[in-house]
Amino acid sequence: MWEQQFSKFDGGAASRTILPQKTIQNFFHETLIFAHQREPSQSVPPSRNRRSSTSPQLFSVFEMPRKPRRKQRPKSWPVTFSPFARALARMASVSKPNRRSKSIESSEKPTRSSTSNGSSKHTLEERPEGSESSDGEFDGVVQADFAFFDPKPNDFHGVKTLLQTYLDVEEWDLSGFADLILEQTTVGTVVKVEDDEDEGVFALATALNLWRYREQRCIMKLKEFLLLKASQEKGVGDQLRLLLGERAHNVGLLVSQRVVNLPPQLLPHLYDSLFNEVSWATEDEPTEDLRNSFQFKHYIILSKIYKHKNAEQQKRKRSDDREEEIVYVKPEDEIFHELSSWSFCFPLRTQQPAPHELKNYRSMGLIMTVEADKIPTFRQQLTSLINEG
């Protein structure tokens, strides 16, 4: 099954993305082959060679010509969390650049042929950037190879940074939560740049069973937080209490955080690998308890959105108004929201100054629940959303 899927990705749409350095002005979308490197985890019996093979399976590779750096770490990775950057990323991902230069392209691709399984790479439009500038200076774009990894204890600081605002300004055992995610190596994916000595974490996706971890301080505080926010909303409080209490055996907390301008082409693959791992875990885990703990029936998602400040006035002037009521920071949230059984918003206590495009919007937290049998629909819709976008 894995091999079949592999070849499907391989022949499918591919685009390479080059990350801009400081400002997110040019988003080059190019050939994209994902690198999926699985380390043999102890819970997988050695006979099942589903994931591990002799060489790491590369199913997406971005080129990465490294320039020698000074001791001071340059800010080549646009790790920006500001709404301004998000808005720019949204706009940039729509626009396409025009430069072409095949000669530079061919000389910078020694590693592209090194994919396993003899897969053929389909390069659609090749648009490299010409950034052979001097030491310490950057042209504005950097090429990067993204790879998916199992969570490792080393990723602690990166994961913790991504989860900093998960519960708004609440003081809770964030380090414990990060540790929990990193200990669960069977289900969970961390996106990093391949061969990056800094090992910066760019995205994280995992699903945590709320019953299995119910004794952990961080999970207890998280449940309190969710219930507190739900108590202000009519109707959903009881349903949430059920999900967090009696039915917690089959409820998974879907945690997905990333840097704001991560190329959206990675998203279908990220979610595919997450949900695949969940289904494999139901068969591969050593004990029956653990196997059952991954039989999720519901997923709870805690996310952030921007809601238009004048939501009511919006409905009246719909004819000439081109502004959306809700702007989703993460594109998959829109699909989750549509497929959700119920959802509600709550105001966030941190209000960052909004960029110009989002000045009429207020950032809000969103809690929603999606049933597990809606997930295949979600996966399809996400793929089509990203491909058309």
Partner 1 sequence: MATRLQFENNCDIGVFSKLTNGYCMVAIGGSESFYSVFESELGGVIPVVKTSIAGTRIVGRLCAGNKNGLLLPHTTTDQELQHLRNSLPDQVVVQRIEEKLSALGNCIACNDHVALTHTDLDRETEEIIADVLGVEVFRQTIAGNILVGSFCALSNRGGLVHPHTSIEDLDELSTLLQVPLVAGTVNRGSEVIAAGMIVNDWTSFCGSDTTATELSVIESVFKLRDSQPSVIVDEMRKSLIDSYV
Give the residues lining the site for partner 1 (CB under 8 A): 71-72, 156-157, 164, 169-172, 174-175
- The DSSP code sequence of 102-151 is HHHHHHT-SSTT--STTPPP---S---------TT---SEEE--EEEE--
Using the minimum distance from each CB to partner 1, give the nearer residue, 163 or 290: 163
> Which of residues 122 and 157 has its CB atom nearest to partner 1 in the complex?
157
Nearer to partner 1, 181 or 382 (CB): 181
Q: Are 17 and 32 in contact (CB under 8 A)?
A: yes
Cα 242 from Cα 95, distance rounded (Å): 45
Instruction: Report the alpha-carbon angle 53-54-59, nearest 5.
Output: 60
> Burial of 43 by CB count in 10 Å (0-12 exposed, 13-18 middle, 19+ buried)?
middle
Separation in Å, CA 170 to CA 156, 237, 350, 372: 20, 20, 11, 29
Give alpha helix (H) positions in 211-284: 217-231, 236-244, 266-284
Provide the 10 A C-beta neighbour count for residue 361: 21
Q: In the bound complex, what is the minimum distance in angstroms from residue 143's beta carbon to partner 1?
A: 27
Nearer to partner 1, 108 or 170 (CB): 170
> Which C-beta is closer to partner 1: that of 168 or that of 357?
168
Q: Hey, how many other C-beta atoms are within 10 angstroms of the C-beta on 247?
A: 15
- Is the distance from CB of 308 to CB of 326 less than 8 angstroms? yes
- CB of 171 or CB of 388, closer to partner 1: 171
Residue of 299, 259, 302 lying closest to 278 (CA atoms): 299
What are the beta bridge partners of residue 36? Answer: 57, 148
